Amino acid sequence: MTDARSRREWLAAVGAATTTAAAGCASLDNPPVDEPREAPDVDPGAGDATRQTIPPGVAQFRGSLERWGYYPDETVADAVEEAWRIPAVNTGDHSAAKASAVPTPDGGVVLPGDTGDLLAITTDGDVRWRGETNAGGRGIHGTPAVADGHAYVGAYDGVLYAFALDSGDPEWSTDLGGSIGSSPLYLDGELYVSVEFPNPEGRLFAVDAATGDVTWEEPDHRPTDHPHSSPAISLAAGRMVCGSNDGYCYCWSFPELEFQWRFATDPPASNDGEIKGPIATYDGAAFFGSWDFNVYRVDLETGEEDWRFETGDLSMTGPAIDPERDVVYMGSHDDHLYALDAATGDVEWRFRTGRPLTGCATVAGDRVLTGSKDGTLYALEAGSGDEVWRVDHDGWITSAPRVVDGEIYYAERAPDPDGGDTDGGGYKLVAAE
Distance CA 72, CA 366 (A): 8
Number of domains in the chain: 3
Distance CA 130, CA 113 (A): 11
Percentage of the chain modeled with pLDDT above 70: 88
Q: Identify the pLDDT of residue 272.
A: 76
Is there a single domain that holds both residue 199 and residue 300? no
Give the pLDDT mean for 266-290.
Answer: 87
Q: Is 12 a member of any domain?
A: no
Q: Identify the pLDDT of residue 37.
A: 57
- Name the band, by pLDDT with cuts 50, 70 and 90, for residue 227: confident
Q: Identify the pLDDT of residue 136.
A: 73
Q: Identify the pLDDT of residue 223.
A: 86
Q: Is 87 a member of any domain?
A: yes
Is there a single domain that holds both residue 307 and residue 291? yes
For 428, the domain range is 68-93+320-433
Q: Identify the pLDDT of residue 278.
A: 95
Q: Is 200 a member of any domain?
A: yes
Give the pLDDT mean for 24-49.
Answer: 49
In the predicted structure, residue 35 carries a pLDDT above the cut 90: no
Is there a single domain that holds both residue 126 and residue 202? yes
Q: Identify the pLDDT of residue 46.
A: 59
How confident is the model over 279-318, as pLDDT tens digits? 999 999 999 999 999 999 999 999 999 999 999 999 999 9
Higher pLDDT residue, 220 or 383? Answer: 383
Is there a single domain that holds both residue 127 and residue 166? yes
Is there a single domain that holds both residue 198 and residue 243? no
Instruction: Give the full edge-to-edge strand order of the sheet including 117-121.
Output: 102-103, 109-112, 117-121, 127-132
End-to-end C-alpha distance for the chain, whole angstroms: 49
Best CA proximity match to 250, nearest among 233, 262, 264: 262
Is there a single domain that holds both residue 328 and residue 426? yes
**Which among 260, 287, 316 is the end of a domain?**
316
Mean pLDDT across the chain: 89
Q: Identify the pLDDT of residue 33.
A: 36
Strand 362-364, strand 70-71: pairing: parallel
Q: Is 263 a member of any domain?
A: yes
What is the CATH classification number for the domain harbouring 154? Answer: 2.40.128.630
CA dihedral 394, 396, 402, 405 (to 10 degrees): 20
- Name the band, by pLDDT with cuts 50, 70 and 90, for residue 270: low
Higher pLDDT residue, 83 or 41? Answer: 83
How confident is the model over 384-410, as pLDDT tens digits? 999 999 999 999 999 999 999 999 999
In the predicted structure, residue 167 carries a pLDDT above the cut 80: yes
Quick one: CA dihedral 272, 276, 281, 282, positive or negative? negative
Is there a single domain that holds both residue 196 and residue 154? yes
How confident is the model over 95-139, as pLDDT tens digits? 888 999 999 999 999 999 999 999 999 999 999 999 999 987 779
Is there a single domain that holds both residue 324 and residue 394? yes
What is the CATH classification number for the domain harbouring 357? Answer: 2.130.10.10
Q: Identify the pLDDT of residue 34.
A: 42
Q: Is 53 a member of any domain?
A: no
Give the pLDDT mean for 44-70.
Answer: 87
Q: Is 222 a member of any domain?
A: no
Lowest mean pLDDT among 102-116, 254-268, 364-378: 254-268
- Name the band, by pLDDT with cuts 50, 70 and 90, for residue 7: very low
Distance CA 197, CA 180 (A): 9
Cβ-proximal residues to 189 (8 Å cutoff; 6+ apart), any chain: 40, 148, 208, 209, 210
Best CA proximity match to 341, nearest among 328, 360, 351, 323: 328
Is there a single domain that holds both residue 403 and residue 332? yes
Q: Identify the pLDDT of residue 30.
A: 32
In the predicted structure, residue 328 carries a pLDDT above the cut 50: yes
In the predicted structure, residue 47 carries a pLDDT above the cut 70: no
Q: Is 20 a member of any domain?
A: no
- Name the band, by pLDDT with cuts 50, 70 and 90, for residue 94: confident
Q: Identify the pLDDT of residue 266.
A: 84
Is there a single domain that holds both residue 330 and residue 373? yes
Is there a single domain that holds both residue 333 and residue 413? yes
Is there a single domain that holds both residue 117 and residue 199? yes
**Which among 295, 316, 337 is the end of a domain?**
316
Q: Identify the pLDDT of residue 198.
A: 87
**Which among 214, 247, 268 is the end of a domain?**
214
In the predicted structure, residue 17 carries a pLDDT above the cut 80: no
Give the pLDDT mean for 209-227.
Answer: 91
- Determine phi and psi for 78, rounding to 5 degrees: -70, -25
Q: Is 330 a member of any domain?
A: yes
Q: Identify the pLDDT of residue 369.
A: 98
**8 Å CB contact between 180 and 160:** yes
Percentage of the chain modeled with pLDDT above 90: 80
**8 Å CB contact between 262 and 275:** no
